[in-house]
Amino acid sequence: MDSFLRLSVCIPAYSMGGMGAQYLKTSLDILGQQEFRDFEVVVADQSDDNSIAELCLSYENMSVRHLDTRHLKRQGSANTNAAIEAAQGEIIKVLFQDDFLNGNDALTKIAGAFDDPEVHWIVTGSEHTRDGQTLIRPFVPHFHSRIQFGKNTISSPSVLALRRAHAPKFDEVLIWLMDVDYYKQCSLCFGLPKVLLEPLVVNRQHSGQVSASVSRALVRRELRYVRQKYAAHMSWGDWWHYIGRLRRTFL
C-alpha cells in the first residue's frame, strides 16, 4: 500500500435486510468510475453471510479491502470506527453502504477541497433517492452549535470527509445521534467545516434505515447522554433547546 495514499473511502457494511450487497455494488461501481484514482476502499463488514466479502473480491480495478468486523459491537458507530482505523489515506471519506457518490468527478472535488492546508473537515451537498435512479430533494448542509441534540442540518455521514490525522472517533454509546454528535466533536476539534454546496452524495431512503426503527426511549436516553457530555459547553439557550427536544419525545 502506498504510504502517501491520498484518500480512503470508509464504508461500514452489514446485511441491511438482505439488500446490503446490492446497495454496496451500486456504490462500488460508481467508485470504480471515478476520474480521481488515488484512493482505496475499506469495507468494514458485519453481515452474517459472505455476500459482501465475495463482492469486494470481485473488484479488481481498484483497491478494495474487506474487514470482518462481526466481533465488534453490532452498530454503525463501532463499525465506522473500524473502517477509519484501518484506513491509510491522508483523507477519510465516509460513505454508508446504501448511499453513493453523485458524478464521476465527486472524489476529485472532495480531495481538491483539502489542497487548502487550513481545511480539516468538509461536508457536501446531497440529494436523495428512493429507487436508486430518480434524484429528489437537493440539500445544502450547514452547521449549528446545538446540532448534537438531533436537529441534523448537515445530513448523513456520507457527506463527510476529514483529514485522518487527529480524526475523532464516533461515540459507540450512540445510535440515533451518532452522526450529529460526530459533527459536534469535529467542530470542537477543528472549528466550522468547509461546505461544498454541490450535491456530491446521494442518500438512499428505504425502510431498512436505522432511523426508521428508533424508539422514543432510545431518543430520550441519547439526548440525556449528549447533554451530560457537552454540559461544559452549554449556554442557557442550549439548555432550553435540549429541554424542548426532550419534551417532544413524551408527546
In a domain, 125, yes or no: yes
Q: Which pLDDT belongs to residue 246?
A: 95
Q: Identify whether the C-beta of residue 88 lies closer than 8 Å to the C-beta of residue 1.
A: yes
Q: Which pLDDT belongs to residue 2?
A: 46
Measuring CA to CA, which residue among 168, 201, 207 is closest to residue 77? Answer: 168
Tell me the CATH number at 172: 3.90.550.10
Residues of the chain with pLDDT under 50: 1-2
Q: Which pLDDT belongs to residue 17?
A: 86
Q: Which domain holds residue 142?
A: 7-209
In a domain, 131, yes or no: yes
In a domain, 246, yes or no: no
Counting the structural domains of the chain, the total is 1
